[in-house]
Chain A
Amino acid sequence: EDKVVQSPLSLVVHEGDTVTLNCSYEVTNFRSLLWYKQEKKAPTFLFMLTSSGIEKKSGRLSSILDKKELSSILNITATQTGDSAIYLCAALDDKIIFGKGTRLHILP
Chain B
Amino acid sequence: DTAVSQTPKYLVTQMGNDKSIKCEQNLGHDTMYWYKQDSKKFLKIMFSYNNKELIINETVPNRFSPKSPDKAHLNLHINSLELGDSAVYFCASSQVSLGADYGYTFGSGTRLTVV
Task: List A residues at the B interface (Cβ < 8 Å).
Answer: 31-32, 34, 36, 38, 41-48, 50, 86, 88, 90, 94-98, 100-101
Inter-subunit contact B105/A45 (CB<8 Å): yes
A26 to chain B, nearest CB (A): 17
* Sampled A-B contacts (20; CB under 8 Å): A31-B99, A32-B99, A41-B109, A42-B90, A42-B106, A42-B107, A42-B108, A42-B109, A43-B43, A44-B106, A47-B103, A48-B103, A50-B99, A90-B43, A94-B56, A95-B56, A96-B33, A98-B42, A100-B41, A101-B41
Interface size class of B (residues with CB under 8 A): 20 to 34
A95 and B48 in contact, given A42-B90, A100-B41 (Cβ under 8 angstroms)? yes
Known A94-B55, A96-B45; 17 more pairs at CB < 8 Å: A31-B99, A34-B104, A38-B41, A41-B109, A42-B90, A42-B107, A42-B109, A43-B106, A44-B106, A45-B104, A50-B99, A88-B43, A90-B43, A95-B48, A97-B45, A101-B41, A101-B42
